[in-house]
Amino acid sequence: MTRRLEGRTAVIVGGTSGIGLATARLFRSEGARVAIIGRDRTRLEQACEALGPDIYTIAADASRPSDLAVAFETIKTRFERVDVLFANVGAAHCPPLRETTEDFFDRLFATNVKSALFGFLAALPLLSSGASVIFTGSATHARGRPGDALYLATKAALRSLARTLAADEDVLARRIRINIVSPGPIHTAMTAELAADPDIDAWVRAQVPMGRWGAADEVARAVLFLASPDASYTTGADLAVDGGLAQI
C-alpha cells in the first residue's frame, strides 16, 4: 500500500508537543521527511527522542520573521523544497479583557498570526507545485466567547488569512492549496490542567455534542488529509475537528 506522503518534505512550525507532535509522527509513518521548527531546544530534543533520529529539528522563535527566514534557508540547504507546511504555533492563555496590555496583545498576535504569515512567506520560494499549507485555527473563531476575546480574534484572523492567501494568483498558478484545520477542545499538554478540573471538564463535555474531549491524533488525521493528494480539490477550506461544537 502506497503511503500518502511518500518522498515528500513536510515542515511543522510548532511540532514539539500536542497536535504538532502527533502530526509529525503521522506524517513520518506516511513516508514524509519531517522537519520541526520550535523555540525550545530541550523540547526539540525530546521530540527527536519520541519520533526517531531521522526527524530534523531547527531552533527558532516563530514570532520573529528573521528567525523564520534563517530556518527556511537551512531547510532549503537540506531538503531543497517543501511539499507540506503546517503552521501550528499557538498560545491560548488570555488575561481578563480589562487587564489586557499592549505588550500582551502584541505577543499574542505575534505568536498566533505573525508566525503563520511570515512562516508562509519564508517557505513560499521553496513550496513545490501542488504543495499544501495548513494553519491551525479554532472551532470557536466565528463565535463570541467572554474571556477569550483576543485568542479568538487571532484565530479569526488566521481563517481570513487562509482564504486570502488561497486566492492569490501566484499561489493558484502554482497549484498550492491553503487550508485551515479548526480543533475543538483537545487533550494536550496545554489543556491538561483545564481537563483535570472537574467543573471545566463537565462544562466542556456539556458543550460538545459528542460529549467528550478530542485527541491530538484525531486532529493529526485531519491535517494529513489536507496535506495529502486526497485533498487535491480542497483549498480555502476550514476543516472542523470539534465534536460538533461549532456545527450543531
Q: Extract the C-alpha cell encoding 25.
A: 509522527
**Coil/strand/helix, residue 178:** strand
Pairing of β 214-215 and β 56-59: unpaired
- What type of residue is 41? R
Catalytic machinery residues: 151
Number of Cβ within 10 Å of residue 101's Cβ equals: 9
Helices (H), the chain: 18-29, 41-51, 65-79, 102-109, 115-123, 149-166, 169-173, 192-195, 198-207, 216-227
Q: What single DSSP character describes residue 56?
A: E
